[in-house]
Structure 1
Amino acid sequence: MRQNGFDVSQIRIVVSVQPRVLLCRVDKTLKPNIDHFLKIGFSKPDFFEVVSVNPYVLFNCHPQFVRATEALKDVMELKNIWVFLCDSSRFLDGVHLMASFGEKNIESKIRMFENFGCMRSDVLALGRKNPMLLGLSEARIKRSLEYLMKELGFSPDYVMSHGALLSYSLEKRIIPRIRVLLALKEKGLIKKDHAPYTILNRSEPHFLNRYVLPFEEIREVYAKELAKLTDRSSMKPSNEGRAGDDKP
């Protein structure tokens, strides 16, 4: 590792996280794996960043992983749609995505985002921040975009800049919470103009303690929505957040 430019602190990190790297054969494992990453265009500083995030790549560069990195490199060079290397910490997520779903599948999802008015550059930026959002099924992405944009009126730019919305379940989180928000407003239980994203982004315990449990009529609304949309209907309070943190 020293011969390939690792300093003492980097070697210490690798060995502390994956001690069995010391059992690897230099000629059959370590050197070929390091050479592979340098061959596909990594600078040594970038490679050190990847190794510091996941030292596993040093001794288990299996054929599927190699094919995925080579495919990712080809896509980046030929079509310029993947820029995961700009964040080394996300490179392995990008490789996993490519290995699991393939270029055509991911490209199809990007086109679907574009059909909803999203800019390609924004979709790629979303992929850089959280590659696995593009690992969601097309059906799920489509349903989420339809609800967020058509039902809630969010703009494409807003959805792209609040990518966490796409990771939330419609049935278990988004729809029940939105209906709770509407019920709170209709009954005059909240006076502030709460933005939908505020209530969607809360942790489940905080959401329950702040928006549901203090109001008997809202507890009933939420329980009915969960029972209707899912098989989950229990509501448990927690110590996270307090009812009345924000005055209704």
Structure 2
Amino acid sequence: MEFLKTVFQSQDVLVKGLVREPRLLICNSEKTLKPSLAFWKGWGFCGAELVNFLKVNPAVLLHTSLTPARVDLIHKIFPDNKGKMFKYIVNAATISCMETLEAKIENLKLCGLSTEETWQLLRASPHVIFRSKEDVSEKMSILVNKMELPATYVMQHPRLLNISLEKTMKPRCVVWQKIKSIDDSDLSLSRVLSMPEARFVRKIIKGHPESKTLLKIYENAISDASNCKKSSTKA
């Protein structure tokens, strides 16, 4: 208990960890817990980052290694073991079902990306690995099928897969299409989708000669996207 308290750094966090993973109480400190702690420190988990890691899944202290498949996944996304998102990907590769992660990666290929393009996308925007297959598929379908953009467009603008589907992508794509039909504008879709809400309304909608029409279209598109989400949830 004393050793675990030093690892979890507070009584409250330790108690919550033991409730979630009581097997920690019967582990041998020398044979399991200390080697596990050294292993995770080797991946860069120390101090507060280690505590946050254990809050998500205290069972990681029961392991002193990762399977080759999980290590391979981490190294393919972060070849040099560096990057702002590195520890999050290690976390995901540790606690997530490997079949689920592999299915998400395969899903990107089904959306039109090659194997190398898929890894390039994940290196540029590791957050994508946290999104559901359904979310990514629908966003790719909108961009590729409705907006008629090449799948590689997402590689150039990977943040598009991290924006809200109902609140941002669906309604703004409708506005973008309308603007293109009015004046054949060269307005960048990635710019339209990446803007903060207030700026988008001020610059793109209210700054356009047909602002009243665009605002009405935008409000209706937001309502339609919201209703579609509610219907999908109920189903």
Query: Normalising by the residue count of structure 1, what TM-score does the alignment of the two structures yield?
Result: 0.64
Which residue does 2:177 correspond to in 1? 182
- Offset at residue 217 of structure 1 (A): 1.7
User: Do residues 113 (structure 1) and 123 (structure 2) align?
Assistant: no
Correspondence list, 1:132-171, <5 A: 132-171=127-166
Which residue does 1:197 correspond to in 2? 190
User: Do residues 213 (structure 1) and 210 (structure 2) align?
Assistant: no
Contact 1:68/1:96 (CA < 8 Å) preserved in 2?
Answer: no
Give the whole-Å Cα distance in 2 for the aligned partners of 1:119 and 1:101: 24
* SS of residue matched to 1:54: helix
CA root-mean-square deviation: 3.6
Specify whether residues 182 and 69 from structure 1 end up closer, same or farther in structure 2 by C-alpha distance, changes over 3 A only: farther
Correspondence list, 1:35-184, <5 A: 35-37=38-40, 42=42, 47=44, 50-51=45-46, 54=49, 56=51, 63-66=58-61, 70-71=65-66, 74-76=68-70, 80-83=72-75, 84=78, 86-87=81-82, 89-184=84-179
Which residue does 2:20 correspond to in 1? none
- Offset at residue 57 of structure 1 (A): 6.5
Q: 2:220 aligns with which of 221, 224, 230?
A: 224
Specify whether residues 149 and 172 from structure 1 end up closer, same or farther in structure 2 by C-alpha distance, changes over 3 A only: same
Is the helix fraction higher in 1 or 2?
A: 2
* SS of residue matched to 1:153: coil
Q: Which amino acid aligns with 1:160?
A: M
Q: Which amino acid aligns with 1:221?
A: I
Contact 1:97/1:132 (CA < 8 Å) preserved in 2?
Answer: no
Give the whole-Å Cα distance in 2 for the aligned partners of 1:54 and 1:74: 24
Aligned residues: 198
Specify whether residues 228 and 106 from structure 1 end up closer, same or farther in structure 2 by C-alpha distance, changes over 3 A only: same
Contact 1:127/1:134 (CA < 8 Å) preserved in 2?
Answer: yes
- Offset at residue 55 of structure 1 (A): 5.4
* SS of residue matched to 2:152: helix
Query: Normalising by the residue count of structure 2, what TM-score does the alignment of the two structures yield?
Result: 0.67
- Offset at residue 33 of structure 1 (A): 5.5
Identity %: 18
- Offset at residue 70 of structure 1 (A): 2.9
Specify whether residues 36 and 226 from structure 1 end up closer, same or farther in structure 2 by C-alpha distance, changes over 3 A only: same
Give the whole-Å Cα distance in 2 for the aligned partners of 1:146 and 1:75: 29
**Could you list the per-position Cα deviations for residues 103-154 of structure 1 after superposition, in whole angstroms to 9, with x for gaps in the alignment?**
1111111112112331223323333344331121111111111221122222
Where structure 2 has 5 or more consecutive residues not aligned to the other structure, the ranges are: 1-7, 15-28, 228-235
Give the whole-Å Cα distance in 2 for the aligned partners of 1:205 and 1:130: 25
Correspondence list, 1:231-246, <5 A: none
Give the whole-Å Cα distance in 2 for the aligned partners of 1:140 and 1:196: 19
Q: Which amino acid aligns with 2:220?
A: K
